């Protein structure tokens, strides 16, 4: 369908492209800043501290997990906690810290009946049966019981190797479910933050949706410039959108196996994290230049020179606003506010949303 013959629809699609590009910029700025500040790691740590606070036993299991060597070495610093804790690493750390609790050690004596040949499993069994009942203790007790049932030999003896693997799998499943819940909470918080970031950015560089629609509706050359950019850069746009989709779809990446040398791994983690942040900053800088070039080519009223204060200065100069024009200015400012809010809302929806929507209407020929 040729939308050029219908200026209203053509302008809407062009605004949709602008919204997608604006959402991509907002997401890239937010992602680069959160990567630098380790916001994901901080958020995950805070939520784990809340979820693993065992009031009945006066223990915060998350605190002990983060002090475990296999997790501690993944943190860049105390203020930049690990944002990538694999299921295997978390499960191993949790089993170790619960098994080493004071309750388990006090109950383990030479005369204590040994349920398993594996000392670690014995300490874990003692701990979950001696500690006061709680959500985490109850989960571990159920995980151990189910693992036992799944690892029984025909002669009713326990295959401890199979038991350990089954126990790991049960705790992995629980942790994965917890990650998903934390991910939902993080996405909600991220969308709220990106809305405010988009609103501030829209005001600073004048991304006014109402003004853009009015311009695009009456300027065919500007619409063609935007459509041309969308078509000519579709591959790069799709790559960036897919990167953003991947970032949005997960809170915690699955980490690799933990190396033996904690110091070298800690340095490696910091180096890799800094490299990723720098890569995001470089990508953002390049993309901002591309968007500035598009704004100039399409003659869009977007940029610092078009922001609200600059426009007010151009319209008023050194002369005071006359009384008869007060309502005109009120309507003007309200219209600008609506335009900025629309842009902020569009930015908060994310580039993948607008890309998928546009792809249904404007399929790009490859």
Give this prediction's pTM. 0.76
The whole-number pLDDT of residue 325 equals 75
Partners of 80 in the β-ladder:
77
Is the Cβ–Cβ distance between 215 and 222 less than 8 Å?
A: yes
Q: Do 215 and 273 fall within a single domain?
A: yes
pLDDT at 290 over 50: yes
Q: How many CA atoms lie within 13 A of 87 on its CB side?
A: 15
Q: Does the structure show a pLDDT above 80 at 204? A: yes
> According to the model, what pLDDT value does residue 341 have?
96
Confidence of residue 3 (pLDDT cuts 50, 70, 90): low
Do residues 138 and 200 share a domain? no
* For range 47-73, the mean pLDDT: 90
Mean pLDDT of 335-347: 95
User: Does residue 209 sit in the same domain as residue 289?
Assistant: yes
Are 356 and 234 in a shared domain?
Answer: yes
Please give the residue range of the domain that contains residue 75. Answer: 45-174
In a domain, 185, yes or no: no
Of the candidates 147, 174, 201, which is a domain's last residue?
174
For residue 71, count CB atoms less than 10 angstroms from its CB and return exposed for 0-12, middle for 13-18, buried for 19 or more. buried
Structure tokens at 21: 């590009």
The owner of tokens 């309750």 is 103
Q: Are 40 and 73 in contact (CB under 8 A)?
A: no
* Residue 212 to residue 18: CA distance in whole angstroms: 9
Per-residue model confidence (pLDDT) at position 48: 93
Boundary of a domain, candidates 174, 202, 235: 174
CA–CA dist 87, 107 (Å, integer): 29
Which pLDDT value is given to residue 268? 54
| Mean of the per-residue pLDDT values of the chain | 82
In the chain, what is the straight-line distance between the N-terminal and C-terminal CA atoms, in Å? Answer: 18
Q: Are residues 215 and 309 in the same domain?
A: yes
pLDDT at 259: 42
Of the chain, the percentage scoring pLDDT greater than 70 comes to 81
Answer whether residue 261 shows pLDDT above 50: no
DSSP designation for 305: G
Which of the two residues, 211 and 259, has the higher pLDDT score? 211
d(Cα 35, Cα 80) in Å, to the nearest integer?
10
The per-residue pLDDT for 263 is: 44
Residue 158, phi then psi, degrees to nearest 5:
-100, 130
205/102: higher pLDDT = 205
CA gyration radius, the chain: 28
- If one compares 315 and 340, the residue with the highest pLDDT of the two is 340
| Count of structural domains within the chain | 2
Mean pLDDT lowest among 112-126, 146-160, 168-182: 112-126
């Amino acid at each position: 369908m040729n939308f050029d013959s219908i200026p209203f629809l053509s302008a809407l699609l062009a605004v949709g492209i602008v919204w997608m590009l604006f959402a991509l910029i907002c997401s890239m700025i937010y992602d680069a800043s959160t990567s630098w500040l380790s916001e994901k790691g901080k958020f995950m740590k805070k939520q784990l501290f809340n979820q693993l606070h065992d009031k009945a036993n006066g223990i915060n299991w998350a605190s002990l997990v983060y002090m475990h060597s296999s997790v501690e070495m993944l943190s860049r610093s105390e203020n930049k906690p690990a944002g990538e804790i694999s299921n295997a690493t978390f499960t191993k750390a949790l089993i170790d810290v619960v098994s080493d609790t004071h309750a388990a050690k006090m109950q383990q004596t030479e005369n204590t009946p040994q349920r398993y040949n594996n000392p670690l499993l014995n300490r874990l069994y003692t701990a979950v049966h001696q500690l006061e009942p709680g959500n985490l203790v109850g989960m571990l007790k159920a995980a151990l019981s189910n693992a036992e049932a799944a690892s029984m030999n025909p002669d009713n003896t326990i295959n401890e190797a199979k038991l350990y693997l089954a126990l790991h799998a049960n705790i992995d499943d629980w942790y994965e479910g917890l990650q998903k819940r934390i991910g939902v909470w993080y996405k909600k918080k991220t969308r709220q933050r990106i809305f405010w970031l988009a609103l501030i950015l829209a005001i600073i560089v004048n991304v006014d949706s109402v003004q853009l629609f009015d311009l695009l509706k009456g300027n065919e050359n500007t619409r063609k410039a935007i459509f041309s950019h969308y078509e000519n850069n579709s591959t790069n746009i799709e790559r960036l959108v897919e990167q953003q989709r991947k970032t949005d779809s997960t809170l915690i990446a699955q980490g690799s196996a933990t190396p033996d040398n904690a110091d070298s791994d800690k340095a490696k983690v910091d180096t890799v994290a800094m490299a990723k942040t720098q890569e995001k900053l470089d990508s953002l800088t390049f993309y901002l230049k591309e968007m500035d070039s598009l704004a100039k080519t399409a003659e869009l009223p977007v940029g610092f020179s078009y922001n609200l204060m600059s426009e007010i200065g151009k319209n008023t100069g050194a002369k005071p606003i006359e009384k008869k024009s007060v309502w005109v200015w009120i309507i003007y400012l309200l219209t600008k506010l609506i335009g900025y809010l629309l842009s902020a809302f569009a930015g908060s929806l994310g580039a993948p949303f607008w890309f998928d929507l546009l792809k249904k209407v404007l399929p790009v020929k490859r």
